[in-house]
Amino acid sequence: MIAEKPEITLAVPPCQPQSVRTFINLNYSLEWVYKQQMFKRFQPHIDYPLLFAILTLITLSTLSVWSASSFSEPIIERHLIRAALAIGALVFMSCISPLRYQRSAPYLYGLTVLLLVGVFVLGDSTNGSQRWLEIGPIRFQPSELVKVAIPLMMAWIIIADAGRPTIKKIFLCLLVTSVPAGLIFIQPDLDGAIFTIIYALFVLYFAGMAWKIILSVLGVVAVSLPVSWYFVMAPYQKKRITQFLNPESDPLGAGYQIIQSKIAIGSGGIKGKGWMDATQGNLGFIPESHTDFIFSTFAEEWGYIGSVVLLALYLFITARVLWLACQTESPFSRLVSAAFALSFFLYSFINIGMVSGVLPVMGSPLPFFSYGGSAIITQGAIFGMIMSLNLRKPSIVEQSRSRK
């Protein structure tokens, strides 16, 4: 909120003409307005209901990670540091104007593609996949940037002119999406490549793409599934699907983790066993239970009631972002925010479905909940962007620049 303009008293000799004194007063007034505008431009814009829900998720995740990691101090310390960095990223990104996000979309997209290419040259191989990049002490997955770059770039292309997306524009959007999706696919990371395409479809859907085109794309995907099974999917990916269909066929091998996860969720009952009293997660029956399978430990400790509360938090966050997107007057902000909301919900739904045995196992962390580095910081940055895009109004200076 801009403070009231103070009265400016100038020690101007009376011998000077009135026009000189008026000119000096005008200069002081313009300087005051400029300082106030600069302060307003770099002021955080926080949606407090959304921030409260995110902080609640992080608090619950900290309790679950502490319990699921068998009370490992190094793990909980790293988790708290990354959670703090995520909140810091949220606040920082909420300070940046929507116009800067819009103008930086092509540059961020180009940087993301370069980093994905750099993974094959300088990347670190983990579990047979080359997905990580180390720059000094920082180790991160460039594919996490795709969650930000693709919605921004797609919205940037779509709002270039008014109206529904044309065939030419849709083709351009899919072409832009195919580059990072292809690079992620050959890491290999089939799940990440599929999610990249889904991000693009979310933006096109909210831009008004005709249903017949959406159904055509889904039809192509359905037809390509048998081809992918025989010629594209790696053995470990096929194993995930067969283990999902019948985990009991290999209870001590491929199906072990999902069987133990379902036991943990079911044993929680209505009220749960209580914090730090989970047996499946705490005693090591679920491998890496503090990462992608953190929900199974949470459900075992807090039961059905706790699980419903957690699901309600995810639904509230999704609905809140969609509501904010509907309130904004900017087509760019609306497209990006709505795509972020559905992506957030999709990740939550897939992770919970995965650990419950409803969906095949994928490398999909639970947002703001699973232990991890790049994912939680990226999520914080995304929600900072959402708050900036929907709560900020462009200043006088930004409005004048946007007309150029």
How do the pLDDT tens digits run along the chain, 404 residues long?
A: 445 545 444 444 555 555 545 545 555 554 544 444 544 556 778 899 999 999 999 999 999 988 888 777 888 899 999 999 999 999 999 999 888 999 999 999 999 999 888 888 776 666 556 677 777 667 778 888 888 999 999 999 988 876 667 788 888 888 999 999 888 888 777 788 888 888 888 888 888 877 777 777 777 777 877 777 777 777 777 777 777 777 777 777 777 888 888 888 888 889 888 888 777 777 777 877 788 888 998 999 999 999 999 999 999 999 999 999 998 888 899 999 999 999 999 999 999 998 888 888 777 889 999 887 778 899 999 999 999 998 766 543 344 334 44
pLDDT for position 104: 92
Residue 235: Cβ within 10 Å count: 6
Contact present, 61 and 80 (Cβ < 8 Å)? no
Residue length of the chain: 404
pLDDT for position 257: 82
Question: What 3 state SS string does 143-167 have?
Answer: HHHHHHHHHHHHHHHHCCCCCCCCH
Tell me how far apart the alpha carbons of residues 310 and 207 are, in angstroms, rounded to a whole number. Answer: 31
Phi, psi dihedral angles at 283 (to 5 degrees): -95, 5
Contact present, 77 and 309 (Cβ < 8 Å)? no
pLDDT for position 1: 43
Contact present, 177 and 147 (Cβ < 8 Å)? no
Residue 70: Cβ within 10 Å count: 13
pLDDT for position 8: 46
* Residue 111 CB contacts under 8 Å (≥ 6 apart), including other chains: 145, 149
pLDDT for position 397: 37
Three-state DSSP at 176 gives helix
Contact present, 124 and 76 (Cβ < 8 Å)? no
Contact present, 123 and 130 (Cβ < 8 Å)? yes
Q: Is the pTM of this model over 0.85?
A: no
CA torsion sign for 392, 395, 398, 403 is positive
pLDDT for position 129: 62
